[in-house]
Amino acid sequence: TTTTPIATNDNLNNTPINDLTDTNDNNIKTDTNNPEILDYMKQMFEIGAVDILSANEQDGSPVECESKSVHYFLMLDVKYKELYHALDEGFVGDAVEWRTPKHFCTNASKPTWITRLPTVVMFQEMRAH
């Protein structure tokens, strides 16, 4: 029998998704170290981002620190009622306690900037109990 692929991925040289599975009982690819499958999953679900910590040293001089991060869903707070407003607020960044490079302990703002959106974007709503 032949199977018709549901979808293809250009980065896998148009290999049908069906061809990425083994013929085990669950029809699921069991080799999680396969780089093609790992790349495919990253492109499908990982949201690349940069977190930027901003604060002032004890002498008042500004200091920033960037770090790359990966997210798998976007957190939305339903109190904002509009998608774009909820996205903005979700990445604004709260004040976090941070030790600066000169070992000064202070509060820093931590906004997050999305650098890459995946093919599939998942949202999670924060709801009140």
Hunting for tokens 């509060």 — which residue is that? 107
Q: What is the pLDDT of residue 129?
A: 56
How far is the C-alpha of 93 from the C-alpha of 113, rounded, in Å? 10
DSSP 8-state class, residue 13: T
Q: What tokens were used for 96?
A: 């976090």
Predicted confidence (pLDDT) per residue in 33-52, tens digit: 778 888 888 888 888 999 89
Instruction: Identify the band that residue 9 occupies on the pLDDT scale cut at 50, 70 and 90.
Output: very low
Q: What integer best gives the mean pLDDT of the chain?
A: 75
How far is the C-alpha of 28 from the C-alpha of 26, rounded, in Å? 5
Q: What is the pLDDT of residue 63?
A: 93
pLDDT at 119 over 90: no
Predicted confidence (pLDDT) per residue in 86-116, tens digit: 888 878 777 789 899 899 999 998 888 889 8
Instruction: Identify the band that residue 21 occupies on the pLDDT scale cut at 50, 70 and 90.
Output: very low
